[in-house]
Amino acid sequence: MADNILIAKNISKSFGGIHALKNFSFSVKKNSITALIGPNGAGKTTVFNIISRIYQQDSGEIFFQNKDITNFAPHQLPQLGISRTFQNIVLFPNMNLVENIMVGGHIYGSSSIFKYLFAVFSSKREDELLFKRAMNNLEFVGLQKLAYSEISELTFGQLRLAEIARCLMSDSELLLLDEPAAGLNPKETEDLARLLLEIKKIGKTIFIVEHDMNLVMTISEKIIVLNFGEFLAKGTPSEISTNPQVIASYLGDDQYIG
């Protein structure tokens, strides 16, 4: 379908004896919020790692904007239009917050490393622009006051927001968010929901892995359920919340209903 920005066909991946993914197919509609849910160890992060080319699938194909991305290297994806956050937050403590955000805009500017040694062009102007965009994105997620803070000074919730701000820097079409609400309090989660809807409004597509069912049910148009590496169900929030199979294997376990 033309309005699917991401299509995966029969993805399989195993680690040693563990079949993390078995013939998993799914699609993500352009400018939607699509959620991928499933119990711990279901293979959700593995799906993200395969999309972002950190892992190579054993078999199956992935198309982004109708382009087979199997032969791309991980560092080429932001250029292509795919950006991500990490389940176990990865920010760089050797830089302050705004510099961390600027790293997300790495694809802008010259791709010749050599030039940055000799500064044969105005890397200063380039950096000023990047800085301005980083500040805008910090403002967007509500962290502009902390721009010059060290990473160690931020709260958990702020770290999650920082990752989202950094993810926005490459201006990618598709954002892969791996459990952005994990560790957030109810108020922070509510703010996050608003932020994600805001991001959708500016035209982005969000593919989100999340355990917080409240959040998932409120913001997503489509939910895909993964169970032990296999496709279990897909549908709208109301379809999923009433699907007996899903309730039995996942939603019935009330620790996830939050």
Partner 1 sequence: MITKKDTFQLSFFFIIMFFLPVILNSFQGGGYYIGIFVPIGFFTLTALGLNLLIGFAGQISLGHAGFMTIGAYSSVYICNKLGYSALYGFALSILLNFIIGFLISKPILKLKGHYLAMATLGIGLIIQIISREFMYFGGGEGISLPDLKIFDFNFNDFKHKEFAYYYLVWLLNFCVLKLSLNFINSKAGRALKALHINELAAQSLGINVTAYKTFIFVFSTILAGISGSIAAHYNSYILPTTFDLHTSIKLVTMVILGGTLNIWGTLFGVFILMIIPELLGKFDEYEGIVLGAVLIVILLFLPDGLTSIPKKLKRLCFKNNG
Ligand X SMILES: Nc1ncnc2c1ncn2[C@@H]1O[C@H](COP(=O)(O)OP(=O)(O)OP(=O)(O)O)[C@@H](O)[C@H]1O
For partner 1, the binding residues (CB under 8 A) are 52, 54, 73-79, 83-84, 86, 90, 92-95, 99, 102-109, 113-114, 116-119, 123-124, 126-128, 130, 166, 170
Interior/surface letters 202-232, b for 16+ CB within 10 angstroms, e for the rest: eebbbbbbbbbbbbbbebbebbbbbbebebb
Tell me how far, at minimum, the Cβ of 47 lies from partner 1, in Å: 14
Task: Report 67-126 residues binding Mg ion (CB under 5 A).
Answer: 87
Select 83 or 189, whichever has its Cβ closest to partner 1.
83
1 binds, among ligand X, Mg ion, partner 1, none (CB under 5 to 8 A by kind): none
Q: Which is nearer to ligand X, 41 or 142 (CB)?
A: 41
What is the sign, positive or negative, of the torsion defined by CA atoms of 28, 200, 176, 226? negative
Bridging pattern class, strands 174-178 and 205-209: parallel
Contact 39, 249 (CB under 8 A): yes
162: DSSP letter: H
Our finding on whether 41 is near ligand X (CB under 6 A) is: yes
- Judged by CB under 6 A, the stretch of 35-43, 93-101, 148-156, 230-238 that binds ligand X is 35-43
- How far is C-alpha 234 from the geometric centre of its chain's CA atoms? 19
- Please pick, from the candidates 20, 77, 134, 199, the single residue that binds ligand X as defined by CB under 6 A: 20
Q: Which of partner 1, ligand X, Mg ion, none does residue 18 bind to, with CB < 5 to 8 Å depending on kind?
A: ligand X
From candidates 10, 18, 132, 248, binder to ligand X by CB under 6 A: 18
Q: Is 109 helix (H, G, I), strand (E, B) or coil?
A: coil
The Cα 46–Cα 208 span in angstroms is 13
Q: What CA–CA distance (Å, rounded) separates 82 from 60? A: 19
CB nearer to partner 1: pick between 67 and 75: 75
In sequence order, the β-bridge partners of residue 90 are none
| Total residues belonging to the chain | 258
Minimum distance, C-beta of residue 21 to Mg ion, in the bound complex (Å): 12
From the list 32, 34, 45, 205, which residue makes contact with Mg ion (rule: CB under 5 A)? 45
Q: In the complex, which residues of this chain contact ligand X (CB under 6 A)? A: 15, 18, 20, 38, 40-46, 87
